[in-house]
Amino acid sequence: MYFIANWKMFGDLRSLNSLDKVIKFSKSNKINKGRLIYCPPYTLIRSFFKKFENCQIDIGGQNCHESEIFGPYTGSVNCRMLKNIGANYVIIGHSENRKNGENNKLINLKIKNALKAKLKVIFCIGESLNQKKKNNTKLILSKQIKVGLNKIKYKKNIFIAYEPIWAIGTGIIPKPKDLFDTVKFIKSKFKDKSQKVLYGGSVNPQNINELKKINNINGFLIGAASHNSKKFIDIVKKTYN
C-alpha cells in the first residue's frame, strides 16, 4: 500500500520537527509493506530529502513545468530540477491545477517529461459533482486517461490517483460500492492487470476503516490529514489493523 502525503501550500522549516514521529514510525514493523511518500512544497523538498536520509520515506513534487529543458519560465520548476534535489515522484493532473488551466494534452506532455527524468508519476483523475450527477464519471475518466497517457507505452512507473473533485476537502467520500466499481473501471483501461490505482479525497483517520475495505485500492493520496503526523500515522496503522 502507498500512502502519499500531499502537503499542498503548507509548511515551513519549523514543520520539519513534526516529521520525527513519522520517521520513528517508518522504522517500526507496524508499517508492514506500506510505502510512505511526502510531497511538500518546492521550498521544502531538499530539506525533506535530508531529513529522510536514514529512513525509507520517499519524496515527491506536487507539480512540474512541461518543459524538459531550462527556459524563460519565471517561477516554474521542471522535472529535471525536481529529480536533482531529491524527488523520486511527482503529482501531475491534480484537479486544483486543472482548475487553473491545465488540460489533458498539457498533462500528457508533463507525464512524458517526468518519465524521461526518471520520476514516478502520480497521475490524478476525477470528475466534478455536476459530471457525476449527469452519470458522466466513466466518460470523463476515460478521456482523462486516454489523452493524459497518449503514446505512453511503459506505464509501470505511473500511479493513477482517483480523486473525485466533489470529495476533495469536503469530508465526503464515495459510497463503497461506487468506489470499488470506479476503481475496477479504471483498472480495466490498462492491459497490465497490476496497474496501481490510489484513492484521494477527504481521506482521514475517521473514514480509513471504511476505505480500507475496498480491496482493489492500492493506496491513498492524503491531503489535509497528512499535515498532522499523528493523523497520518493513524491512517497507516488503521489500514493494517
Tens-place pLDDT, residues 15-72: 999 999 999 999 987 787 789 999 999 999 999 999 999 999 999 999 999 999 999 9
What HEC string does the chain produce? CEEEEECCCCCCHHHHHHHHHHHHHHCCHHHCCCEEEEECCHHHHHHHHHHCCCCCCEEEECCCCCCCCCCCCCCCCCHHHHHHCCCCEEEECCHHHHCCCCCHHHHHHHHHHHHHCCCEEEEEECCCHHHHHCCCHHHHHHHHHHHHCCCCCCCCCEEEEECCHHHCCCCCCCCHHHHHHHHHHHHHCCCCCCCCEEEECCCCCCCHHHHCCCCCCCEEEECHHHHCHHHHHHHHHHHHC
> Was domain 2-240 assigned CATH 3.20.20.70?
yes
pLDDT at residue 75, rounded to an integer? 96
Residue 128 reports pLDDT greater than 80: yes
Residue 132 reports pLDDT greater than 90: yes
* Averaged pLDDT, 213-241: 97
136 — pLDDT class (breaks 50, 70, 90): very high
* Averaged pLDDT, 181-206: 97
pLDDT at residue 92, rounded to an integer? 98
pTM of the complete model: 0.97
pLDDT at residue 241, rounded to an integer? 86
pLDDT above 70 as % of the chain:
100
Q: Which residues are catalytic, by number?
A: 94, 163
185 — pLDDT class (breaks 50, 70, 90): very high
